[in-house]
Amino acid sequence: MSQDDTNSWSDKDDQMMRLAIAASCDSRIIARPNPWVGAIIQTYDNEIVSGSTQAPGDRHGEIVALDKLGDRARSGTLWVTLEPCSHHGKTPPCVERIISSGIERVVVGIIDPDPRVAGSGIKILREAGIEVCVGVRAKEVAMDLVGYLISRKLGRPMTLVKLASTLDGYIAASDGTSKWITNEESRLAVQELRADSDVIIAGSGTLKIDDPSLTVRLENRRSPLRVVLGAIPPNAKVHPARSFSGDIKDLLSELGKEGNLMAMIEGGAHVANQFLNQHLIDRLHIFYAPKVLGGGQGLRLFEGQGALTMAMAYEFDHLDTRTHRGDIEVIVQSKETTKLIQEVVTASTNH
Amino acid sequence: MSQDDTNSWSDKDDQMMRLAIAASCDSRIIARPNPWVGAIIQTYDNEIVSGSTQAPGDRHGEIVALDKLGDRARSGTLWVTLEPCSHHGKTPPCVERIISSGIERVVVGIIDPDPRVAGSGIKILREAGIEVCVGVRAKEVAMDLVGYLISRKLGRPMTLVKLASTLDGYIAASDGTSKWITNEESRLAVQELRADSDVIIAGSGTLKIDDPSLTVRLENRRSPLRVVLGAIPPNAKVHPARSFSGDIKDLLSELGKEGNLMAMIEGGAHVANQFLNQHLIDRLHIFYAPKVLGGGQGLRLFEGQGALTMAMAYEFDHLDTRTHRGDIEVIVQSKETTKLIQEVVTASTNH
C-alpha cells in the first residue's frame, strides 16, 4: 500500500484491466519495439472507449483512447496496462496529456521498468492530484509484456526455444529422419509463435539437413528477421537472412540494441544446448508427438555438454500445457525469468 | 440400431449411466478378478437405488441394487455398466434374477467380451420380453473397464508403464542420480496408480540401484503383488516378491491366468524398452519434471534397441495431461488398445 493510500482496487478495476489487456492485443505486433499497451477510459457519464499503441512514432494506447473522447474525458477514469510515459521520446509524454484531459483516476497494471519512466510517470500524475492505483492484474500484464520487460531490464530480446520431440526426447531417429514428428496442428501453432517473434535464430546444421525457410505462412503476418549461427549456403531457402559467428550473448545484445523484443530459437539440438548452458532460455516450448522411439542413437532435444548430476539440472516453471490433436505442447519458463516478472509485479503492487 | 429397434436412449439414460459408472468406483478394487460393475435402478414410483459388485463369490452390482428393492423393482428400469451375466459362475446368472424381478427395461453400457456372456445375457433378457438398450456411454465404460476387457480378450493383464523423466527424456543423470526427479505430488499420484494395480513389475537393475519397496503407502489400500524380472537380493526391501526369468509374454500370460487385471511396470529403462519392443505397453504414464539435463550420457526413458527411423516410432494416442504442482503427467494409450476399446464400443452400440 502506498503512503497516499490510493493503491486499492475494486472488482470493477479488475474487470476493466482485463479489457485493457484485451485491447493491447491489437498492437502486439505493430507497436514493436515499443510495448504493446492497451487502455480503457470510462467517462463521467459511463461511455467506454479503448485504445492501443500504434506503430513507432505514432500515438500510445492512452492517447488513442483520449483522442476518441476529446473534452468528454474530463472526470473520467483511465485503466492502462503499463505506466504512462513521462519522457519525450518519439511522442510527447503521455502523463501531460492525461493531466490536461481532466482524468480523475488512473489505474495502472505495472510500472514501466524503462529507466526513463520507472515510476516517474505515476509520481507526476499523483503530484497533479490524480488518484493513481497500481498493480491491478500485474502478473497477467507482466506475463504478456515479458518480451518488453526482459528487453528493458537485460538489454536483450526474450528468448523462446521451440523443439519438436518424441515423448522420449528425440528430435530425430538414428537414421536422421526428423521431419513431421509433430502434426499439422502443432506446426500451425509454431507459425503463430514465429509470427509473434521479431527474430528467428537457427543453426547452420539445421539448414544443411532440413533447408527450412523459417518464414511465416499466415495471411497478413510479417516474417521475422532470420539469423543463422554460422555460414548460410548460397541457395538456402532461409534467404534473406543474416549470418552470425561468435558468442550468442553478443548476438542477443546486438539484437536487443536494434529493438528486437522477442527471439525464437528453432532448429538445432546443439544450438538449443548453447542457449541452455548459458542460461539464455526464457521460455521453452516442447511439442511432444505421442510417439516413442525407444532406445537407440537418435538425436536428442539437447546435444552437447549437459548437467552431470540431477541436482544440477536446469530448472523451469511449468506455465501451460496445450494439446494439438494429440500432440502435447509443454510450455515452461526459466526460474530467472519468473523472478524478473515477480520483481516487476512486486514493485508495481507496492508502488 | 438393432432389429427390434430398442437401441435408442435418452438424455436420462445418459445421466443414469453416469451414476452407474460412479457407483462402480466403489468396487474397483474389491471385485477383482471380476469386473467392477455399477448399477442403478429406478422404480415405478421413482425411487432410485445403486449397487456395485462385491468381492469374488459375493453379489454382482445388479443383484446388490435389486436386493435393496425386493418386490418394488417390478416395472422399474435398470442401468448397468456391463452386460448382465448369463452363466453360472461363482454366482447364479444375473439375467434370471432380473427377469424374475419384473424389471421392464434394461440399459447396458457395453456387452461383456467374456465368451461365456458375449451378448447372450442381452439375448435372454430380450427373449423374456424386457426392452434392452445397449451402448449408453459405451466409450466411457470401456475406458474404465479396460483392464477387464484386455484380460478377457488377450488373456493377460492390462499393462501400464510409469516413468519419471526430465523434459528432455532422462530418468537419471550421467552420474546415476535419479531419485526425486519428480515432486511429492507426482509421487502421490504414483501411489494411486500402484493401489489400482494388481501387480507391480520391476527389473532387478532398479532394485540394485534404488532398492524400492514398491508398496502402497496409502491408508486402507492393499499393496499389489511384486514381481522382479531377475534375481532378488536377499535383503531387498521389495520382499515379499516373486522372481521371474524368461519371456515377459509368458509372465503376463501367467499373471492373466491368475486373475490379475492390471499390471504396472515401474523402474528400469531396459524393462520399459522390453515391453515397448514387444508392443506390450497398453498405457504409458510419463511424469515430466520441469527440468532439463541437456546433452550428456544420462539414462534415457527407454534404453536398448529402438526404432531406427521416425516412421517406425511406436505410436500412441494422447489420453490426458495432468499437472502435479509443476510436474506434468502425460498419459497415452497404444493404438492397439484404442482399437480394442473401439471394437467393444462398436459391438455394443450395434448390438
Give the Å distances, CA to CA, from A321 to A75, A193, A286, B288, B332.
Answer: 44, 15, 10, 12, 15
Please report the pLDDT score of residue A149 as a whole number. 97
| Beta strand B48-52 pairing with B38-42 | antiparallel
Report which of residues B321 and A296 the model is more confident about.
Answer: B321
Query: Testing the interface with A: which of B293, B322, B324, B337 to mutate, by most A Cβ within 10 A?
Result: B293
In total, chain A counts a number of residues equal to 351
CA–CA distance from B253 to each of A258, B158, B250 (Å)?
66, 11, 5
A181/B292 Cβ within 8 A: no
* Chain B contact set for A269 (CB, 8 A): 295
Q: What is the pLDDT of residue A13?
A: 95
- Nine cell digits for residue A331: 510450455
Partnered with residue A227 across adjacent β-strands are: A201, A242
Give the pLDDT confidence score for residue A91 in this predicted structure: 80
Q: How far is A88 from chain B (nearest CA, A)?
A: 43
Q: What grid cell was written down for A39?
A: 487502455
pLDDT tens, residue by residue, A39-90: 999 999 999 999 999 999 899 999 999 999 999 999 999 999 999 998 887 7
CB B200 within 8 A of CB B264: yes
Which residue of A292, A304, A308 is in closest CB contact with B316?
A: A292
Select from A33, A15, A37, A41 the least CA-distant residue to A24. Answer: A37
Cα-only R_g, chain A:
22
Q: Which of B167, B217, B227 is nearest to B191 (CA)?
A: B217
Rounded CA separation B270/A295 (Å): 8
* β-sheet bridge partners, residue A332: A284, A318
pLDDT of residue A6: 61
Residue A165: pLDDT band (50, 70, 90) is very high
pLDDT of residue A1: 41
The position carrying cell 524368461 is B246
Q: Among candidates A33, A27, A25, A24, which has minimal Cα distance to A199?
A: A33
Q: For residues A297 and A300, give the distance between their C-alpha atoms in angstroms, rounded to a whole number.
A: 9
CB under 8 Å to A247, separation ≥6 — which residues? Answer: none
A284 and B269 in contact by Cβ < 8 A?
no
Q: Measured between alpha carbons, how far is A43 from B308 in angstroms, rounded to an integer?
A: 67
Q: Is the pLDDT of residue A5 over 70?
A: no
Q: What is the DSSP string of B44-106?
A: TT--EEEEE--STTS--HHHHHHHHHGGGGTT-EEEEEEPPP-S-SSS--HHHHHHHHT--EE
pLDDT digits (tens, 9 = 90+) for A113-130: 988 888 999 999 999 999
- Beta-bridge partners for B78: B41, B106
Instruction: Write down the mean pLDDT value for chain A.
Output: 93
Q: Looking at the complex, does the CB of residue B92 fall below 8 Å from at least one CB of chain A?
A: no
Per-residue pLDDT, averaged over A202-230, amounts to 90
Q: How many CB atoms lie within 10 A of CB B246?
A: 9
Residue A351, pLDDT above cutoff 90: no
Taking phi over 0 as left and psi of -120 to 50 as alpha, with beta for the rest, A70 belongs to left
Residue A53: partners with Cβ closer than 8 Å, 6 or more residues away:
A24, A27, A30, A31, A34, A35, A36, A37, A38, A59, A60, A61, A64
A210 is in an annotated binding site: yes
CA A152 to chain centre: 12
From the CA of A46, how many Å to the nearest CA of chain B?
43
Question: For residues A161 and A231, is the Cβ–Cβ distance under 8 A?
Answer: no
Query: Which residue of B lies nearest to A313 if distances are taken between CA atoms?
Result: B293
Q: How far apart are CA A270 and CA B155, in angstroms?
A: 46
> Is B62 one of the catalytic residues?
yes
Tell me if residue B192 falls in helix, strand or coil.
helix
Helix/strand number for chain A, H first, E second:
11, 16
**Residues B140, B146, B148, B151, CA torsion sign:** positive
According to the annotation, is A226 in a ligand binding site? no
Find the residue in A nearest to B171 (Cα): A310
Domains of chain A, CATH where assigned: 11-144 (3.40.140.10), 154-335 (3.40.430.10)
Q: Is the pLDDT of residue A3 over 70?
A: no
**Which helix (H) or strand (E) element contains residue B290?**
none
Q: How many CA atoms lie within 13 A of B66 on its CB side?
A: 24
Q: What is the pLDDT along chain B (351 residues), one digit of tens a residue?
A: 444 546 688 999 999 999 999 999 989 889 989 999 999 999 999 999 999 999 998 999 999 999 999 999 999 999 999 999 988 877 888 999 999 999 999 999 999 998 888 899 999 999 999 999 999 999 999 999 999 999 999 999 999 999 999 999 999 998 888 877 999 999 999 999 999 999 999 999 888 888 889 999 988 888 899 999 999 999 999 999 999 999 999 999 999 999 999 999 997 899 999 999 999 999 999 999 999 999 888 999 999 999 999 999 999 999 999 999 999 999 999 999 999 999 999 999 988
Q: What is the pLDDT of residue B9?
A: 86
C-alpha cell at B183: 515432486
Looking only at the bridges linking them, the beta strands covering B105-110 and B77-82 are parallel
pLDDT digits (tens, 9 = 90+) for B264-298: 999 789 999 999 999 999 999 999 999 999 988 89
Closest Cα in chain B, distance from residue A148 (Å): 25
**Which pLDDT belongs to residue B90?**
79
In this prediction, residues A151-180 reach a mean pLDDT of: 93
Identified catalytic residue from B47, B62, B303, B329: B62
What sign does the dihedral B265-B338-B145-B278 (CA atoms) show?
negative
Q: Dig out the grid coordinates for A191 from the structure.
A: 507459425
DSSP assignment, residue B145?
A: T
Q: What is the percentage of chain A residues whose pLDDT exceeds 90? A: 82
pLDDT at residue number B6: 61
Query: Is B25 annotated in some ligand binding site?
Result: no
Nearest to B311 by CA among A177, A324, A325, A327: A177
- Residues 139-198 on B with a CB inside 8 Å of A are 165-170, 172-175, 177-181
Task: Select from B286, B314, B326 the Cβ nearest to the Cβ of A317.
Answer: B326
- CA of A324, closest CA in chain B: separation in Å? 10
Q: Which of A62, A184, A192, A343 is flagged as catalytic?
A: A62
